[in-house]
Amino acid sequence: MRIASIVTSEGPCVGVDDGDSVIDLRSLAPELPADLRRLLQLGPEALADIGRRARTGGRRLDPERVRFLPVIPGPHAVWCAALNYPTHVREGNWERPSRPPFFLRVAGSLCGHLEPIVQPTVSERLDYEGELAVVIGRRARHVPMADAYEVIAGYSCFNDASVRDWQRHTAQITSGKNFAATGAFGPWLTTVDELAENEIENAELTTRLNGTVMQRTKIGEMIFGIPELINYLSTISELLPGDVIVTGTPGGVGARRTPQVFMNPGDLVEVEIDRVGLLRNPIVREES
C-alpha cells in the first residue's frame, strides 16, 4: 500500500494510492485521524485495516488536483545520516566513518512532492542529494539489528537539498541543511509489507536534474545499512511513530563535480527509488 499526506479543498487528509487516483481516507474511515503521524501512532493494525478498506472503494481524487504535503508533515524527529555511501566518501576525500554520523532536520525545512524547493536569497549553491527515507511505525528503544525491520512503517523518497556554502560555515553542517523548503519528502509512504528486506536493499535510487541522471546506486551499497542505523539511533533516543531516518546520499552530488553543478530557478529535480516512488520538485528563488 502507498499512502500520502495531502490537502484537498476540504483540508488536509490522508490519501491512499489507487493507481490513477487517490482514495480519500475520510470517505472510508471518517473516525481515523487526518494526520499520518497520528495515524501511525494507532499501530500497524490500523495501517492493515486501511489497506483492507481501500479495496472496497472510497471517494477517488485526481492526483493533479490535490496538494502533496511532506509524507509526515510534522515529524517528531528527522534524523539524517551523513557519509553513508562509499562513493560519496570517496568523492569528498573524507575518512570512512566508523560510526554513523547524523544531523537533524527541523520540520519547517520540509516540503512535499511537486512543491518548490526554494533557493535562498543568500546563496546560489543549492545542491541535490537523493536519499531513501525510512519511517518508523512503532515506539522503539534499543532495537537489535535482527529486529530492525519490525519497527518500520514504510519507505519514501527524500531530497536532502543542501546550501553548500552555509553548510561549510563551521564544522557542524546543520545550518546548510535546514533552510526553509529544502528537504523534499514524498510523495508516498510505501508500507513495509510491499518490499521484503532484500527488495529494499536491491532497489535502485536515481537522482535526475532536468532529465540528466546525476546519481545512481543500490540502497544496499550503504556503509551502515538500515538495521545498523535503527539500532544506533534507538540506542540514543526512543524512536516514535512517524520519526524519519534519512539514510544518506551516494556519490554524484553537484558540489563534487567538475565543473560544479547546482540547482537554479527553473530546474526540475527528481528522486526515484524502485517500487518506492518518484519525488519531483521544481526549483524557485526565495522572494526577497
CB atoms within 10 A of CB 121: 10
Nearest to 227 by CA among 172, 148, 166, 156: 148
Nearest to 104 by CA among 204, 200, 243: 243
| Number of separate helices (H) and strands (E) present in the chain | 7, 19
Nearest to 132 by CA among 247, 52, 228, 13: 247
Residue 240's domain spans which residues? Answer: 78-285
Is residue 29 domain-shared with residue 116, that is, in the same domain? no
Torsion on CA atoms 27, 32, 33, 34, rounded to nearest 10: -10
248 phi, psi to nearest 5 deg: 105, 160
> pTM for the whole thing?
0.97
pLDDT digits (tens, 9 = 90+) for 149-190: 999 999 999 999 999 999 999 989 999 999 999 999 999 999
pLDDT digits (tens, 9 = 90+) for 20-32: 999 999 998 899 9
Residue 208 has pLDDT above 90, yes or no: yes
Q: Among 37, 68, 99, give the residue marking a domain's end.
A: 68
pLDDT digits (tens, 9 = 90+) for 43-86: 998 888 888 888 888 899 999 999 999 999 999 999 999 999 99
Segment 124-140 shows an average pLDDT of 98
Q: Among 43, 68, 93, give the residue marking a domain's end.
A: 68
Is residue 133 domain-shared with residue 231, that is, in the same domain? yes
Q: How many domains does the chain have?
A: 2
Residue 183, in any domain of the structure: yes
What confidence score (pLDDT) does residue 54 get? 86
